[in-house]
Amino acid sequence: MRIIVPLKQVPETKSVKMDEKTGTIIREGVESIINPLDLYAIELAIQLKEKYGAMLVGISMGPPKAADALKEAISMGIDEAFLLSDKALAGSDTWSTAYAIAKMIKKIGDYSIIICGERATDGDTGQVGPEIASYLEIPVLTYVNKFIEIKENEIFVHRQVEEGSEILSSSLPTLLTVVKEVSEPRLPTLRGKLKAKKTIIPCVKVDELDIAIEKIGLQGSPTRVAKIFRPKVARECEKHFAKDPSKIGPAVNALAAYLNKKNLL
Amino acid sequence: MKNSEFSDIWILAEQHNGKLLRISYELLTRGMALAKKKSCKLCAIVFSSGVENDELEKLIACGADKVISVENPQLEHFLPEPYSACMSDLIEKYKPEVILAGATSTGRTLMPYTAMRACAGLTADCTQLDIESATGNLLQTRPAIGGNIMATIKTPDRRPQMATVRPRSTKPSEPMKNRKGEIIRIKPNEKLMLSRVKYRGFIPLEEKHGIQDAEKVVLVGRGIKKAENIAMARELADCIGASLGATRDVVDRGWLSYPHQVGLSGKTITPKLYIGLGVSGAIQHLAGMQTAETIVAVNIDPEAQIFKVADFGIVGDIFEIVPAMIREIRAKSLPVSVTGST
């Protein structure tokens, strides 16, 4: 069986800074990493390969340097990888991204399972996974927190919802989006790192796929960013300094009185 | 199809065992504000195996002008294919201009699955919604780039304009007197009920009281330093009848489990009282708690961001302050609440 793992390269969110004047993101000097939540998808794919035997294909869409994310996936245990990289894709929203990735998957051919991370830490939408499934007309299992088994062309999983976990099954082919609880990502092995170093990631262009150019990029995207701004946060804080042991008592007293007054104790 | 052929605002009302969930009423609050600005109708759609009339009437009392209840045993639990097939069918038939769903496990699956098919624009996890006066377009505002910025998104040309809305980001709508509306019950075509995903059972959460429903929350940040120190925070929480929550740092270190996580990548909470212990106040975390009514922060760093959103702050060592707080509260011999209850 073939398992496809779509990955995204994202900026290290903690290091993202804003240009206060223009309201845009400063990208220079920001480190790029593999989307942390995609590591759980890679790990589950590797575990399925170990259990049932599979060919693992990593794919990504992004600038040429996104090949680094795919190399990292190979160092963990993904067998082969393709990067969809084309200037025509710049500015694609989730609809256009899912459309392009689905076309790429169609080009790769038969597959049994597509495994995605729940969402990417930069865009934070979690939409692309279900959208790919929808375009490919396959079922989707979101928020998978536990894999049970594959039996007679059917996969059994647990799906995390607000009140607990659903036990679900889906016929194959299907698409899973996974949450952290599903697996414990392994570290790359030395052998994997050597393999990744030697691997050249093929770069696929839009005209190699059956893609309608008017459906991709900024122009093809249904949504537009109208503006971005910094969230305003401010309250008047009654601040007590209690680093000195003698100040602790009075500060805690004041807090108790404050909460009492508000009827919060 | 022209944009002008689309009208009305829809919300997806979610139900469990035939009872409407809180998110349904939160979406009515959102929908009413938008419908008023656009002078259009507000419609609630419900998928279920069957909902009593009394329950559907509540949607009307709380702001819906129309309720479309789609009923079939296959719709008892959320299944992406039949839910999406029904929604697509309704979109074609009624042409809503806007569809709002909760950013819940259901909404965040159903909406992208449906939007793809409808070639519609979809914005995830909105915290503010408005109507652009010049164009009548929906303005959808959401935290972006890990919560560092807010982005306002619009869908200028495609219809419907679809958005998921962060649960607990607004108050649920209250019933109003003398509201009238129409209830339409639909038995969907069996062809729409095909599902390759099968529902086989359910394992409820062990902890009964989710942090999202708690009136009081004690929340630990990285300043708690190690797993063993969580006990101290738990003691304070028990003392005041609060639930225990954590920042992403704490959950990533495995000191508390993911359901405790509050912030952009965890839950949004709006408790009456939030007490942050050793919480620095990263914007990602603030995005999940700044709507709390009263915010108390204890942190050793006087410059910690958390103090900017706090009502009451103590600058000091949590390992000295928290035991003193517990003693103070116990000394006042206030009734001790049951663990985790609210």
Is B207 at the interface with chain A, CB within 8 A?
A: no
Asked whether the beta carbons of B212 and B268 are under 8 A apart, the reply is yes
Report pLDDT for B207.
64
Report pLDDT for A27.
65
Task: Considering chain B, tell me which residue range(s) the CATH 3.40.50.1220 domain(s) occupy.
Answer: 211-331
What is the average pLDDT across B208-227? 88
Residue B338 confidence (pLDDT) above 50: no
Percent of chain A beyond pLDDT 70? 93
Percent of chain B beyond pLDDT 90? 80
pLDDT tens-digit profile of A23-61? 556 667 778 999 999 999 999 999 999 999 999 999 999
Report pLDDT for A21.
60
pLDDT tens-digit profile of B307-328? 999 999 999 999 999 999 999 9
Lay out the sheet containing A113-117: strands in order across.
A203-204, A80-84, A55-61, A2-7, A113-117, A174-178, A140-151, A154-161, A164-171, B197-204
Chain B neighbors of A159, CB-CB under 8 A: 105
Chain A neighbors of B325, CB-CB under 8 A: 252, 255-256
In which residue are the tokens 């680094």 written? A68
Chain B neighbors of A127, CB-CB under 8 A: 108, 111-112, 115, 122, 124
> Which CATH code of 1.10.3720.10, 3.40.190.10, 3.40.50.1220, 3.90.660.10 fits the domain covering B211-331?
3.40.50.1220
User: Residue A225 and residue A215: Cα distance in Å, rounded?
Assistant: 17
Of residues B2 and A245, more confidence is placed in A245
Measured between CB atoms, which of A160, A168, A181 is closest to B200? A168
Report pLDDT for B1.
55
pLDDT tens-digit profile of B149-190? 789 999 999 999 999 999 988 889 999 999 999 999 999 999
Cis amide linkage into residue B160, ω under 30° from 0: yes
Range B3-193: architecture per CATH: 3-Layer(aba) Sandwich (3.40)
Is A265 at the interface with chain B, CB within 8 A?
A: yes
Task: Considering chain B, tell me which residue range(s) the CATH 3.40.50.620 domain(s) occupy.
Answer: 3-193
What is the average pLDDT across A64-85? 97
8 Å CB contact of A130 and B148:
no
Strands in B73-209 per DSSP E: 98-102, 121-126, 128-131, 138-144, 149-154, 161-165, 182-186, 197-204
φ/ψ of A174, rounded to 5, equals -150, 170
- Binning pLDDT at 50, 70 and 90, where does residue A124 land? confident
How far away is chain A from the Cα of B111, in angstroms, using its nearest Cα?
A: 8
pLDDT tens-digit profile of B55-87? 999 999 999 999 999 999 999 999 999 999 999
Report pLDDT for B212.
84
